[in-house]
Structure 1
């Protein structure tokens, strides 16, 4: 386990605190006793504005940064808005990482994505697979932006001796997720679809694709735990496991399931008893995405929330928040 980190007494800026991952990281920091957690919503700080970001950093004595802000979405969103995904993510990471360096911030954690790896990467995907093959076309712009963020952190470490680290999570889900019917990831999209099917007494739920692709899923609270763990790692431990480029670390469970198996779990969680249909005219995306998490395990962290338990707690949150906030579900 990590010793009590000196970062806990420093001002820590969490960029993207209103998103699912950022909110979970803020919860984790507070739970660990971090005394000064700095946040700023879009109404306060435009992360795509270099001038605004630089001014924000100059006005605060930030000791560390967690860069969880990003434009995110599923296959449909990535296919529909590729320019937005590439441009906005490049701007966010470039502005925040450079402003951190310019104002003397030594510690930064950048959150990437498992989509950085080649479409046909050997499974499970090791960190060394980066840039060894062709990316999945359906989310290539987002992946390229995240790869650029990794390399930016690496470059500041090499050129300026910074301690900028990167973690690459597998597919995340949990409280605070985006449940939009078209622009969300697979778990919230299907969870909402199953919920509505139960409400409407539907006899079938149709899932995009063949149901055969294999995916790994990590609860966002586990992701937050892993992120802070890596942020707080002793320099010697971190460098010993990320040579030669002081590069990124995979974060996941090391276990995957098929989309069909995921749908079956969601049916149980939501109480749906009808049939499952699969629309093979829709894209499947990458055939399999499983992370090799041995590097992180050697550094003392493992996931603790099982998939079905995580789905049940997420569904309880979804129903509770939908009712409390009067979210309008499709009729």
Structure 2
């Protein structure tokens, strides 16, 4: 692990601390030894990011060496307003002499047909995140900035610190609901649970700390290594899971993590929700693979849930 001193540490600006990934990224940077005093954080809603004067003033005040822009999973960055904000942020970063900038987006499961796009990544036809990321890559690379772009699959797992308000991904909310339902059934001695979900729901998941680690890994890679691996000037990387998880598999895994041994049935929703498939091969070729398996991640999530709900923990101990 590289050691950082206050004198030598990079000044880091993180835009998007209210997202789960943003909070996890802060913890990852602190774990790597970055001084907390050198990490400035701001939420995507704390300022008018489409106002170029506001953004420029912030950049001139902080003078960051590295900027992470983390979009919340419920605020995709392919909207017109977000595109304006991104343009202002890019312009301000370039004017302030920011050497390194990373844009982090998260896909969300969508209803409807999916189609393949060039490069082998499969996306719903109405999802513009991938195209927007590539456009940003080209723009910043043309300005000589060390720019990286990643799009992550859906994060899940405990967020630290737990009291920070964060926007949850669809998967994180779903897993939280399943933990609550199975925990309640276990406490009340119920042997049957009804779950609202479509039998064809499909998710692409990754544990939150793994995503944060992957983001830093991509940012720290030499540009020559990235260019050689991606074989393109646009340094965009997908952070995809190696396997997708069908809803029935997920429900069974959450029940096992909680210790629920009863039965469950689905109350089908009208439309299936499917996570877009992201590429995981490129990141593997760059020397990174996720550490936390789904089973381990759900066990850690169940443990965190019990710690946050002490009544359940006391009841289990008594019984």
Query: In which range does the TM-score fall when normalised by the shorter chain?
Result: 0.7 to 0.9
Question: What's the counterpart of residue 317 of structure 1?
Answer: 304
Q: Secondary structure at the match of 2:68?
A: strand
Question: What's the counterpart of residue 299 of structure 1?
Answer: 286
Q: Which residue, out of 132, 136, 160, partners 1:152? A: 136
For 1:174 and 1:16, locate their aligned partners in 2 and report how far apart those are by CA, in whole Å: 18
TM-score by length of structure 1 reads: 0.76
Instruction: Name the CA shift for 1:58/1:127 in 2 (closer, same or farther; >3 Å).
Output: farther
Q: Which residue, out of 153, 159, 164, partners 1:170? A: 153
Q: Which residue, out of 164, 174, 179, partners 1:191? A: 179
TM-score by length of structure 2 reads: 0.79
CA contact (8 A) 1:71 1:85 kept: no
Question: What's the counterpart of residue 31 of structure 1?
Answer: 31
Tell me by how many angstroms 1:270 deviates.
1.8
Question: What's the counterpart of residue 104 of structure 2?
Answer: 111
Tell me by how many angstroms 1:310 deviates.
0.7
Instruction: Name the CA shift for 1:276/1:34 in 2 (closer, same or farther; >3 Å).
Output: same
CA contact (8 A) 2:157 2:207 kept: yes
Q: Secondary structure at the match of 1:9?
A: coil
Q: CA RMSD in A?
A: 3.7
Instruction: Name the CA shift for 1:64/1:273 in 2 (closer, same or farther; >3 Å).
Output: same
| 1:139-162 deviations in Å (ceiling 9; x for gaps) | x4xx4356424422322213x122
Q: Secondary structure at the match of 2:272?
A: coil
Q: Secondary structure at the match of 1:151?
A: helix
Q: Which residue, out of 55, 72, 76, partners 2:57? A: 55
Q: Which has the larger radius of gyration?
A: 2
Question: What's the counterpart of residue 19 of structure 1?
Answer: 19
Tell me by how many angstroms 1:70 deviates.
2.3
Tell me by how many angstroms 1:284 deviates.
1.0
Instruction: Name the CA shift for 1:179/1:202 in 2 (closer, same or farther; >3 Å).
Output: farther
Question: What's the counterpart of residue 241 of structure 1?
Answer: 229
Moved more, 237-246 or 178-187: 178-187
Question: What's the counterpart of residue 211 of structure 2?
Answer: 223
For 1:235 and 1:128, locate their aligned partners in 2 and report how far apart those are by CA, in whole Å: 20
Tell me by how many angstroms 1:283 deviates.
1.8
For 2:172 and 2:9, locate their aligned partners in 1 and report how far apart those are by CA, in whole Å: 36
| 1:206-231 deviations in Å (ceiling 9; x for gaps) | 33333333333110101111100000
Instruction: Name the CA shift for 1:183/1:314 in 2 (closer, same or farther; >3 Å).
Output: closer
Question: What's the counterpart of residue 95 of structure 2?
Answer: 102
Tell me by how many angstroms 1:100 deviates.
1.7
